[in-house]
Amino acid sequence: MKANKTSPFPGFFKSISLSMKQFISFFMKPEDVHKLLLNLANNSSDDFVPILINPFDPMLLVKDIGLIHPILKDVEYQNRSGFPIIDYIYFLFIKNLNLLKGIQPKLSKNMGGITFANGEDWKRNRKIGLRVMNDPQFLEYSVKPILTSTDEMIEAMKKSNEEVYKINQYIGQLGIDVVGKLVFGTNLNIFKEDRENKEENINSKKLSHSVRTMLDAIQKYLYRPFPAGFYSLFKSKQIKELDSAVYNLALTGTILLDKVKNEIDRNNMTDTQECLSAIIYKNYPELDDTEIQAILMDLLGAGHDTTANLVVFTLSLILEANLLDSSEELQKEIKAISNILPVYGETEENMNYRNILETIEKNSPILSSILNESLRLYPLGAVFSRISLNNKKNYTIKGKKNYYLKPKTKLLISPYATGRSNNDWGENSDSFEPFRFLENEKKPEAFIPFGVGKRSCIGGRFGILEAKLILFRLFQLCTITKDTSFQPTDSLLAFTLRTKHDIPVRIGYNQ
Ligand code: HEM
């Protein structure tokens, strides 16, 4: 079919309606990228907008939501285009795993995992990830560890006796504590004074430092125009720190996976049998340790920061809008959910966790709506990428107008831009309307915080469950008010979206 519009490339620079200053700051400060996306979303009339995050790697931002859905659902666009710093981290991680096992590293371009893998490896690993993250038994099993870790965090805050808490920092740590339990069935004791996990000899302080170091390095180097090999040769101080952080993650993963495997092999699993590493080891004997570790690392990478920040943004928005005081509906829902949550040490241990899971998932419409609105304004995966397969000469997209895209065209999709476009959400698209999603029976097409189609997020259901459990638990056991130093919610684009400011709160303890 003949398209009535030619490739968007010829109009490349013409359509950038940015001042030079913005354009230059684009190269210099990756954290400004999302402001720019917003500007483009509302001020450019083009369906595709050329983006030069990396001057050697042009991408097209797909702006029109009518084009985003067909592209993301098309197999032609099921590959993701990667980032050199992430390729380097995978490379280092796999190399360290191999060296720890005394195996000479065999390194390929496609390093495994899910998020940045392509081709057959991606297909197989995604199927595994999708199955385990949505396994009802795993979801049911995760309720107790999430609640107990949150309890430990609250206990630690109480003990610290601070007047004002930077609660975002506590929640970041909480995310890692939960990962320890859910991925490896081990208690990292992040919130205990004696922070060692003696049994497995894991230093949890060092572990959470390694996760932070890795995320910070990704943030800093994400848009740098160097190939992955550059980081193997030129070691800045931060890259050296990254190297030892990745080594520590590989070492910790190896110790913990070996423990889980030993327990399974000796038929000695206790309450850890539903953790992710156990489920994968038991159900996928065809995977070797390195392949299992790459999937687990991916789940940590894609799941930890996103979920922790979802809790932080949502809490910030709730406090900013004074919803805990002003919304009777929210108060009622918190009360109803508090009635079914166990209080450890007081409630009978024989809890029906399936019932808790189902009630939290299906019967908390107010918090669901607030979380969706939080995801609309602050989608943690604020931009994601695609690259076309090479098997068509020109790819035709049929939208309002038809387009030809050249083979290997890199596309960028931004849930941040689609979530704030005035066309889709009205003139007040920037304002927080907590009950917006209660009124919409069907979610608007422009709401895509988990992506769409064949590469959409596999952990969304779990992420929402974890966020709800943490928030309900906090509201059940604490009275949280914002401190006078609280600043309106705002974001920075790191690899994922983070809050721009700390969230300073005062806490009263209900029990
Ligand atoms: C709760 C907040 C979360 C948000 C907002 C979020 C968002 C996203 C987005 C936007 C993508 C890209 C989708 C696309 O390319 O179409 C993605 C992919 C992915 N997410 Fe999430 N995510 C969240 C939580 C999680 C969790 C908890 C996990 C797992 C533990 C997870 C695992 C993944 C994986 C493995 C992918 C890559 C899928 C693929 O490439 O096939 N995510 N996520």
15-51 pLDDT, tens digit each = 344 444 344 444 545 556 666 666 666 677 777 777 6
Atom of ligand 1 nearest to the CA of 126: 41
Q: Are 116 and 126 in contact (CB under 8 A)?
A: no
Nearest CA to ligand 1 atom 43: 457
CA dist., res. 468 & res. 377, Å (int): 18
Q: What is the pLDDT of residue 323?
A: 97
Nearest CA to ligand 1 atom 6: 450
Which of 156, 151, 141, 146 lies closest to 176, judged by CA? Answer: 146
CA dist., res. 78 & res. 426, Å (int): 31
Coil, helix or strand at residue 185 = coil
Tell me: domain 78-381+449-509, CATH 1.10.630.10, correct? yes
Atom of ligand 1 nearest to the CA of 375: 5
Atom of ligand 1 nearest to the CA of 380: 5
Coil, helix or strand at residue 404 = strand
Which of 56, 55, 49 lies closest to 27, judged by CA? Answer: 55
CA dist., res. 65 & res. 132, Å (int): 31
- Provide the 10 A C-beta neighbour count for residue 485: 10
Q: What is the pLDDT of residue 280?
A: 93
CA dist., res. 509 & res. 499, Å (int): 25
Q: Which residues pair with 491 in a beta bridge?
A: 499
- Which protein residues touch ligand 1 with a CB less than 6 Å away? 72, 80, 114-115, 126, 129, 133, 298-299, 302-303, 306-307, 310, 375, 379-381, 384, 415, 449-452, 455-460, 462-463
DSSP output for 313-353: HHHHHHHHTTHHHH-HHHHHHHHHHHHHS--TTTS-S---H
Distances (CA, A) of 66 to 235, 397, 399, 423, 429: 44, 10, 6, 12, 18
The model's pTM: 0.90
Q: What is the pLDDT of residue 32?
A: 61
Torsion sign, CA atoms 351, 353, 186, 166: negative
Q: Are 272 and 260 in contact (CB under 8 A)?
A: yes
Low-confidence ranges of the chain (pLDDT < 70): 1-42, 51-57, 104-111, 193-201, 268-272, 347-349, 390-394, 398-401, 494, 511
Give long-range contacts, CB 8 A cutoff, 24+ apart: 345-352: 351/144
Q: Are 133 and 458 in contact (CB under 8 A)?
A: yes
- Provide the 10 A C-beta neighbour count for residue 103: 12
Q: What is the pLDDT of residue 52?
A: 63
The letter for the amino acid at 135 is D
Q: How many alpha carbons fall within 13 Å on the CB side of residue 461?
A: 17
Q: What is the pLDDT of residue 8?
A: 34
